[in-house]
Copies of this chain bind each other. A is one copy, B any other.
Amino acid sequence: MTQTRPENPPRRITRQRSALEALLAELEDFRSAQDLHALLRDRGDGVGLATVYRTLQALVEEGQVDVLRGDDGEASYRSCSPVHHHHLVCRSCRRTVEVADPPLERWAQRIAAEHGFADVHHQLEVYGTCGACAP
């Protein structure tokens, strides 16, 4: 969704950053910063909590990671594809699928223009209970 950083100061490759990127790469659902911090510790690649937050923030700015705010306001992160998409998330196990809806993109632009809004962005998430979590 967000993609800044044109040619800013070069970003250094540190053990911590590599560890976090590797972890995110093998996870396919949204996880909180605290979760990621704990997972890294368990795995042996301990990384300071502050660093986890900083790095996630950077990854989000680079457009490599998407953020999602839960009802409780806690942020969750997921390594996502770079093209615009939305999410279908299981409210029980957090399993996430990337989905796209071209018509929606056009609709958002149109409805915003009709109301005199410019520089339009949007955010859509679909929540449900996945097959594996059904009762």
CB distance from A105 to the nearest CB of B (A): 11
CB distance from A51 to the nearest CB of B (A): 20
Q: What is the total number of residues of chain A having a CB less than 8 Å from a CB of chain B?
A: 34
B111 & A88 in contact (Cβ 8 Å cutoff): yes
* Distance, CA A59 to CA B123, complexed state (A): 24
A90 at the interface (CB under 8 A from B): yes
Copy number in the complex reads 2
A131 at the interface (CB under 8 A from B): yes
A130 & B103 in contact (Cβ 8 Å cutoff): no
B101 & A116 in contact (Cβ 8 Å cutoff): no
- Residue from the list B107, B130, B134 in contact with A104, Cβ < 8 A: B107
Closest 9 A-B residue pairs measured CB to CB?
Answer: A117-B128, A116-B131, A73-B73, A120-B128, A124-B124, A122-B126, A69-B69, A112-B128, A121-B127
